[in-house]
Structures are given as C-alpha cells and as structure tokens.
C-alpha cells in the first residue's frame, strides 16, 4: 500500500464511492431510505458525481471537505473519487469520460479544448501555485546551490544537466517550473522528468535520483524536516510569485467538459454550491480544525504540520478566496500558457471560463 493509498484510508485509490464506506453504513442508509420511501411513496436517491484529481494532497481537498462537512449531501450529491498520481492523468480521465469533473491546473481545460474536447473552468481554488516552489537536494544546498541561478549552473557528475522532478510532463508543476526557468533564461540548462506523487518524488529527492523537485508545502516541509531537501524558490514569501508571474492568475481549478455543463447544468450548479461552501469553511475555520476533519481518512500518512501548511496556503495567498476569477486574472496567465512547448494556442476567456455557477453559488451563500 502506497502513501497515497494510506491517505485514502485503504480504499481503492482509483475509484472510491464516498457514500458507501462500510456495510453497516449501507444498511443504516438503506433502512433510512426505506422509512422515507414509505412516508413519501418514493425512494430518495442522491445523484452521483465523480471528480478526478491527483496526486492526493491537501491542495485538492475542496471536494473532500464538501463531502465530510455534508455540503454535498445537502445538495443531494454522492461523491465518487477517481484519483491519479498527476494532474495530467486526471485531465485524461476527464477526456475519457471516467469522471464528470476534474480538479487540476487551469491550463488543463485549455489543453483539452485545443485537442477537440471543449472544456470550461467553473470554479477556481487557487491563484498562486503552491507547487511552484523548488526544493533542492540537501547536499547541493550545503554545497552552495541556494538559488535558481546556481542550480541551473551546476552540473551532475559527468557533466549532465541538473534533473528537476515534476509530477508529470504537462502537469501544473511542469507548467510553472518551466516558465520560471524560461523567464530567467535558464531553461536550456535543466532537464525535467516525471517524479509522480509525494512518495516517489520525495524518495527520488532523498536517493538523489532527482536534484530538485517542484514541491507543494507538505512536500517541502517533509523534505526539510527529514534533512534531505531545502527550498531555493519559495512562493510563500510575499512578492516572490508576483515578481516572476505578474500577479494572481487562475492556478488550480474545477473544470468539466462543455457537454457535461450543457447536459447537466442543474447538477453542475449544485456541485459548485457545495464546493463554494467548502471554500468558505476553510477561510473561516482554524487550520487545525480543518485538518482534524480530514486527517485520519485522507492524510494519515502525511506530516501534520506539512498538511496544515498546505491547507492554509490558498486562503492566505488569495484574500478573497471566492472561487471567481476575472478577465484580468485570466489574461495574466497567458504568458505561462501560450508558449513554445505547451501546445496551447491563445484562447479567449469566454471559450474556456464559465463563472455563472460560482457567481450563483456566492449569491446563494451570502
């Protein structure tokens, strides 16, 4: 069983029906439904909604919180998870019809749309990428590799370029780290490879298979606490991200195929309603309480302090934390998305963004 499997409490990491976790719970639910059916003349059944994301880290916790707090139940929704080890694979799951919604980098619906699978961003959960920070091997840091420039100038034994691990080629970690090095005209000095999720990325850094990794807060803290990694680029430091990227942009988003939105607008609205309530809960609740809600079931294999850092990152980095983005926010993402190597042509805001559901959910929650 992998770390990500433990984080899911031992359930199948690829397909988890959140409404049917134990036999006793199923029997109790069935008995309750039978009573209600007798009273109303019909069975009350929730609509199943599936969401795909990966890897399993707190940055994708929005739907988990909505489930655990009962916000999805309030909207008549039963949640099914389809998890992966990288956001790029979650994008593929959505395109293949293996999930109704996806949570991942905002560039993914642009990529799908360009490839003939028209998709829309319907909610944004982050405007600064927590996973854009760069964590280098501890021994390299101690040898003076303490900056992006020093890392790009260093050579591996034999003269090879330094290796930077990202969850998958084409993933959000790849998108932001390649842009960072391109901005500083250092991209030709680095080799990017797929590192997978937390367990493989951190193991690769520790074993020196990777010289650095693009890492969210939970990975950063675990590497530093265990003495095999140190940050050389930290987006948590005020002003660091804005200097290289110009300001807040759509980073992590909930997105869906356009045909799903058109065919099931009412269900899409209910799903977004629950997620907006989850975001409001995170914004208003002490992080220790949020962690207690999720820890045993999803993040038992993670360092609690690392998980806290990750759960608190987005609401701290995005004061409004509303789920809604503007045309100006979207425009700032253009230099990151539309460049050689991404295969994403310039795309209009209205062609890949639909904020109707998030705006309606905000009004309902007000």
Dist. CA 222–CA 214, nearest whole Å: 13
Q: Say which residue, 297 or 153, is predicted with more confidence.
A: 153
Confidence class for position 366, pLDDT limits 50, 70, 90: confident
Q: Which of 292, 313, 301 is nearest to 69 (CA)?
A: 292
Average pLDDT over residues 260-267: 97
Q: Which of 269, 281, 284 is nearest to 359 (CA)?
A: 269
The pLDDT value recorded for residue 216 is 86
Q: How many helices (H) and strands (E) does the chain have?
A: 20, 11
What's the token pair of residue 351? 């062609």
Dist. CA 210–CA 125, nearest whole Å: 29
Q: Which of 302, 144, 153, 147 is nearest to 216 (CA)?
A: 302
CATH of the structural domain 3-128+248-365, one choice from 3.40.980.10, 3.40.630.30, 1.10.357.10, 3.40.190.10: 3.40.190.10
What percent of the chain shows pLDDT beyond 70?
88
* pLDDT value at 10 more than 50: no
* pLDDT value at 8 more than 90: no
* pLDDT value at 351 more than 50: yes
Strands (DSSP E) contained in 305-362 are none
The pLDDT value recorded for residue 50 is 97
3-state secondary structure of 237: coil
Average pLDDT over residues 316-325: 93
Strands (DSSP E) contained in the chain are 16-17, 47-53, 77-83, 101-105, 119-126, 134-137, 163-166, 191-194, 212-214, 229-233, 252-257
What's the token pair of residue 105? 């980098």
Residue showing tokens 């490839």: 115
Q: For residue 55, is the peptide bond before it cis, meaning its omega torsion is within 30 degrees of 0?
A: yes
Average pLDDT over residues 22-44: 37
* pLDDT value at 56 more than 60: yes
Q: What is the CA radius of gyration of the chain?
A: 21
Q: Which of 18, 9, 122, 34 is nearest to 79 (CA)?
A: 18
Element (DSSP H or E) covering residue 178: helix 172-183
Q: Where are the domains of the chain?
A: 3-128+248-365, 131-245
CB 58 within 8 A of CB 299: yes
Average pLDDT, the chain: 87
Q: Phi, psi (5° rounding) for residue 246?
A: 90, -10
What's the token pair of residue 308? 């806290």
* pLDDT value at 25 more than 60: no
* pLDDT value at 350 more than 80: yes
Confidence class for position 299, pLDDT limits 50, 70, 90: confident
* pLDDT value at 195 more than 60: yes
Give 108-124 pLDDT, tens digit per residue: 999 999 999 999 999 99
Q: Do 3-128+248-365 and 131-245 fold alike per CATH?
A: yes
Average pLDDT over residues 53-65: 89
What's the token pair of residue 16? 């988890």
The pLDDT value recorded for residue 365 is 87
**Stated pTM of the model:** 0.79
The pLDDT value recorded for residue 28 is 38
* pLDDT value at 132 more than 60: yes
The pLDDT value recorded for residue 37 is 37
Average pLDDT over residues 14-20: 41
Report the C-alpha dihedral over residues 119, 254, 351, 332, rounded to 10 degrees.
-130
Average pLDDT over residues 259-274: 98
Average pLDDT over residues 15-32: 38
CB 137 within 8 A of CB 258: no
* pLDDT value at 12 more than 50: no
Average pLDDT over residues 285-311: 89
The pLDDT value recorded for residue 16 is 41
Average pLDDT over residues 223-246: 93
User: What class, spelled out in words, does domain 131-245 have in CATH?
Assistant: alpha beta
């Amino acid at each position: 069983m992998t770390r990500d499997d433990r984080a899911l409490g031992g359930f199948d990491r690829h397909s988890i029906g959140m409404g049917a976790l134990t036999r006793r719970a199923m029997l109790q639910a069935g008995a309750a439904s039978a009573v209600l059916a007798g009273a109303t003349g019909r069975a009350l059944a929730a609509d199943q909604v599936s969401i795909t994301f990966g890897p399993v880290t707190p940055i994708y916790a929005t739907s988990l919180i909505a489930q655990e707090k009962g916000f999805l139940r309030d909207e008549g929704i039963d949640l099914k998870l389809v998890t992966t080890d990288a956001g790029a694979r979650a994008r593929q799951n959505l395109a293949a019809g293996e999930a109704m919604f996806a949570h991942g980098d905002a560039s993914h619906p642009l990529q799908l749309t360009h490839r003939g699978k028209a998709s829309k961003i319907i909610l944004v959960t982050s405007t600064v990428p927590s996973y854009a920070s760069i964590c280098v091997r501890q021994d390299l840091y101690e040898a003076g590799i303490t900056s992006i420039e020093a890392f790009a100038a260093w050579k591996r034994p034999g003269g090879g370029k330094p290796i930077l691990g990202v969850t998958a080629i084409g993933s959000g970690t790849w998108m932001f780290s390649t842009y960072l090095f391109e901005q500083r005209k250092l991209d030709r000095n680095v080799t990017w490879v797929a590192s997978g999720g937390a367990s493989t990325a951190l193991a690769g850094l520790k074993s020196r298979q990777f010289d650095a990794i693009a890492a969210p807060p939970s990975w950063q803290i675990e590497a530093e606490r265990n003495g095999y990694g140190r940050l050389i680029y930290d987006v948590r430091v005020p002003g660091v991200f804005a200097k290289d990227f110009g300001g807040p942009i759509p980073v992590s988003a909930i997105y869906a195929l356009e045909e799903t939105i058109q065919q099931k607008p009412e269900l899409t609205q209910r799903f977004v309603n629950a997620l907006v309530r989850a975001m409001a809960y995170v914004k208003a609740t002490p992080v220790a309480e949020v962690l207690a809600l999720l820890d045993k079931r999803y993040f038992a294999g993670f360092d609690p302090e690392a998980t806290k850092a990750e759960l608190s990152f987005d609401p701290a980095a995005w004061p409004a934390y509303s789920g809604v983005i503007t045309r100006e926010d979207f425009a700032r993402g253009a230099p990151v998305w539309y460049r050689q190597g991404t295969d994403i042509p310039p795309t209009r805001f209205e062609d890949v963004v639909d904020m109707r559901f998030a705006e309606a959910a905000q009004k309902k929650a007000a």
